[in-house]
Amino acid sequence: MESPTAPTAPRRRRARPSRSRRLLLCTALAVVAVAGATAGGTVWMRAGAHPGTTAVPSPAGSASGEAAVEPVAESATDHDAVLRAAMGSVDVPDGAKVSVAVLDVVSGAGAVYGDAAFDTASIVKVDILAALLLRAQDAGRPLTAQERTYATAMIEHSDNASASALWDAIGRAEGLDAANARFGLTATSGGEGALWGLTQTTAADQLTLLRQVFGGSGGEGSELTAASRAYLQGLMGRIAEGQRWGVSAAADGSAWALKNGWLPRSTTGLWDVNSIGRITAGGRSYLVAVLSNGTAAQEDGIALVEAAARAAVTALAGVAEGQGLSSGDGGPGG
């Protein structure tokens, strides 16, 4: 694979919160039971190397907005405000945007920072497999041997040809959108034609997808069966070496599972870098989704995503400490 030439490091600025309507997460979200695993990401490919990852100009809208960072609510019950304040410590390269959504699966507390849409790049591969599993469930059949071969390559090694085969199998964007309607995703739309990597999504929707993948206690709230969830979680826990960055930066070294995506846009040379997954820190489990675009180099995007993940998890951990919650309160720990 060709490696890009690293440009001069861009001047950085502090993250600024969105003026647009914040997406609010219900603090009574179902407790999620999560299996421990190791994790990984996606194979990097030059723009245009595969039709699923062709680059296009950035979508309109900003995930970080223009207003100054607001103070944390005194009651510490406004989790969006807590996260917004925490994101004030994250350095964002000039011209870049970032959005993050996080859920403490023990307490049910969740928060979202930014509501703009981003290209998925290869994180959509989790959604593609979830849609395939849902179709198989509806048909009352297991995945075929060939589908399993594609699924393993697509998730564990982020193989783009396998992703394209399964994208076709689910009916491309129409099939993905139909599955997402059942999963509860409301701001995600499949990429046009063969361009699965240009699916548009929000951090809040990716958090909803993670709840489908990892399920709730007894599977409540998930359209996927326990067997389907366990299968997808297992693949996310066996990611190839060299792809284990992203939201895992917020983990404390114990269980984590993730999927990453990165894509250089052919028109600008700027990068989309995303990461979604489940991590464990301080004895608590978190679902985390971080989306970004506009960084000059892949390394800058990775640094931004990891800093945002750490800020998000630290923010909710602080809420839990302030409320005197232990890892055993409200449900099973990670």
Across residues 261-285, what is the average pLDDT?
95
The answer to whether position 42 is within a domain reads: yes
Contact predicate 223/23, CB 8 Å: no
- Residue 88: which of 72, 105, 76 has the closest Cα? 72
Q: In angstroms, rounded to a whole number, what is the distance separating the alpha carbons of residues 225 and 218?
A: 10
Rounded Cα–Cα distance for residues 64 and 73 (Å): 19
Pairing of strands 200-201, 118-119: antiparallel
Residue 18 domain-assigned (yes or no): no
Q: How many CB atoms lie within 10 A of CB 75?
A: 8
Residue 89 has what pLDDT?
94
Q: Is residue 241 part of a domain?
A: yes
What single DSSP character describes residue 190? P
Distances (CA, A) of 306 to 4, 88, 276: 21, 15, 11
Please count the other Cβ atoms lying within 10 Å of the Cβ belonging to residue 298.
18
Whether the per-residue pLDDT at 40 is higher than 80: the answer is no
Q: Pick the range with the lowest mean pLDDT from 75-89, 125-139, 167-181.
A: 75-89
Q: Is residue 24 a part of any domain in this protein?
A: no
Output the six-digit token pair for 323. Answer: 């409320």
- Cα separation, 262 vs 77, in Å, equals 34
Strand 271-281 and strand 284-295: the pairing is: antiparallel
Question: Exposed (0-12), middle (13-18) or buried (19+): which is 11, by Cβ within 10 Å?
Answer: exposed
The answer to the question of residue 111 being in a domain is yes
Top pLDDT among 243 and 32 is at: 243
Does 20 reside within a domain?
no
59, two tokens = 């979508």
For residue 333, the one-letter residue type is G
Domain of 96: which CATH number?
3.40.710.10
Tally of domains within the chain: 1
Give the range of the structural domain holding residue 287, as residue numbers without chain letter: 30-64+83-322
pLDDT of 249 reads 93
Mean pLDDT of 11-40: 38
**pLDDT (tens digit, 9 = 90+) per residue, 197-232?**
999 999 999 999 999 999 765 557 899 999 999 999
Residue 169 lies inside a defined structural domain of this protein: yes
| 303-317 per-position pLDDT tens digit | 999 999 999 999 998
Q: In terms of C-beta density within 10 A (0-12 exposed, 13-18 middle, 19 or more buried), how is residue 41 classed?
A: buried
Edge-to-edge, what's the strand order for the sheet holding 97-104?
Answer: 110-113, 97-104, 284-295, 271-281, 256-264
Q: Decide if 17 is inside a domain.
A: no
Which ranges in the chain belong to alpha helices (H)? 79-87, 124-139, 145-156, 160-169, 172-183, 203-214, 226-236, 298-322
pLDDT digits (tens, 9 = 90+) for 149-189: 999 999 999 999 999 999 999 999 999 999 999 999 999 99
